[in-house]
A and B are shown apart, each in its own frame.
Chain A
């Protein structure tokens, strides 16, 4: 790893100033992804600005029933938080399905958003990768692409976003609060991460001078009935082949409110808007669920080793909806 200058930010303004003064500086929080990327020489900042002293470690209720999750709240603490477990269980479950106990204790909310793909061609300096080196090519297209995207990809990049937490946040309509040189702004989580298109080297819409201060959840009573289902090659401690975050509210056998998001399928957490549109106000039954899942996966494109994901994702959506229906019934 290249050596770097280390500085600790005393307040948000100082953090922003540091990052603005040096374009090769990066923020450091838990380090669980950045340290690895630096050791692999994929990231080579000459300065790290440690933001862990900033007062952004609270989970607090917002007027109106929503919740503000500080950027520095540890993943494990967030998963264990009583308000989250009662009102947004899908978020707690998603976090607990990711990484390991040790990593969840180090990782922060903002770091989880900012983590980069684990595509092996991205990691392998000897492989061609448009994300690491625009224009170099993409070895995943013709390579071993079991863990790669089936939705929203481009010929330049078929990598997936690895986070579980973000899939739940996408389903919950979270917004990312950021502060930068030009002040504060709010970015919907579903617009925070980008699709590769012809700029796979850019992961997010966060500007170079911006710091994430919190992730806000709107009030969503329906989220009390929510869950996360992760399908992976191992029983634990593995990234998703596909995953589903679901929220469901049923009244008189009719879907009153529904949210669905998919993980392991795209360069960003994939909000299933097409499926939701068909489900809203529809009758609760397997046919409806299957039709909605099929509609969402209709534009999917598989590669040599991951075409099975297209069917798998649909079945997982149906299973989640059926399970959430049973939970509603048993109330």
Chain B
């Protein structure tokens, strides 16, 4: 068999409000498209197998693991990365809280933690139950809920206490039921 030409496709991705035209192979993950093709290196590759959450980005406000996503599948969607979370020069309240609460050491999991937490609170407010809520019809924004809902984001530095505190301080009031 001779060499096969790597077939590429032309796609358009909308990232943080801006359109990006790419010519890529279908096998390129959304994570690699962001980092290697668009130059948005805030989103990190921790495990490349959907086990660590460092690659978490938002698609139409919902959190996903971009390492398990093929870029070609995400045309026409509103994608938000860590670069799009702040408001120009003003940090998102959660970003400020991470600094205040010592929510990171090496910072590698941090973009994924922040994107995940923002979407997690949206899920909570929309009434998404969790394994901790069980069959209950109502539940509070407790630390147990935060930890369960954030279980898809690992931190090898062990900054979990600060991460939970930052999330609790930032969103506790608006998540209160």
Contacts and interface: CB of A to CB of B under 8 A. Distances in A.
Interface of A: 1-6, 28, 31-32, 35-36, 38-39, 48, 50, 52, 76, 79-80, 85, 89, 92-93, 96-97, 99-103, 105-106, 227, 230, 235-237
A256 B63 CA distance: 42
Contact of B62 (A93, A105, A236): A105
A103 B72 contact: no
B73 A50 contact: yes
Contacts of A76: 62, 123, 128
Contact of A102 (B29, B56, B135): B56
Interface stretch (B35-43, B102-110, B147-155, B159-167): B147-155
B68 A97 contact: no
A236 B9 contact: no
Given A32-B50, A103-B50, A236-B148, A4 B128 contact: no
Nearest to A1: B27
B152 A39 contact: no
B69 to A, nearest CB: 7
B68 A106 contact: yes
A32 B50 CA distance: 8
A105 B64 contact: yes
Interface of B: 4, 6-7, 9, 25-27, 29, 48-50, 53, 56, 62-65, 67-70, 72-73, 116, 119-120, 123, 126-131, 133-135, 147-153
Q: Which 7 A-B pairs have the closest CB atoms?
A: A100-B152, A236-B151, A6-B26, A237-B151, A96-B131, A102-B65, A89-B135
Contacts of B134: 93, 227
16 contacts: A3-B25, A6-B70, A36-B68, A39-B49, A80-B126, A80-B128, A89-B135, A92-B129, A93-B134, A97-B131, A100-B151, A102-B65, A105-B62, A105-B64, A106-B68, A236-B131
B53 A31 contact: no
Contacts of A5: 7, 26
Given A106-B64, A227-B134, 4 more contacts: A5-B26, A39-B48, A50-B73, A101-B150
Contacts of A235: 147-148, 151
A5 B56 CA distance: 26
Contact of B152 (A92, A230, A237): A237
A101 B128 CA distance: 10
Per DSSP, chain B at the interface is loop
Nearest to B123: A101
B135 A93 contact: yes
Interface-central residue, A28, A100, A105, by most chain B CB under 10 Å: A100
B7 A102 contact: no
B145 to A, nearest CB: 11
Contacts of A39: 48-49
Contacts of A89: 135
B63 A85 contact: no
A28 B73 contact: yes
Contact of B69 (A31, A93, A230): A31
Given A35-B29, A236-B148, A6 B9 contact: yes
A38 B62 CA distance: 24
Nearest to A5: B7
Contacts of B151: 100-101, 235-237
Contacts of B133: 96
A31 B70 contact: yes
A100 to B, nearest CB: 3
Contact of A36 (B25, B49, B127): B49
Contacts of A28: 70, 73
Contacts of A96: 129-131, 133
Contact of B26 (A3, A99, A105, A106): A3
A80 B56 CA distance: 21
A146 B50 CA distance: 22
Contacts of A106: 64-65, 68-69
B35 to A, nearest CB: 16
B135 A227 contact: yes
A80 B139 CA distance: 14
A281 to B, nearest CB: 26
B127 A80 contact: yes
A91 B72 CA distance: 32
Contacts of B27: 1-4, 38
Contacts of A93: 131, 134-135
Nearest to B29: A35
B49 A102 contact: no
Contacts of A227: 134-135
A80 to B, nearest CB: 5
B68 A101 contact: no
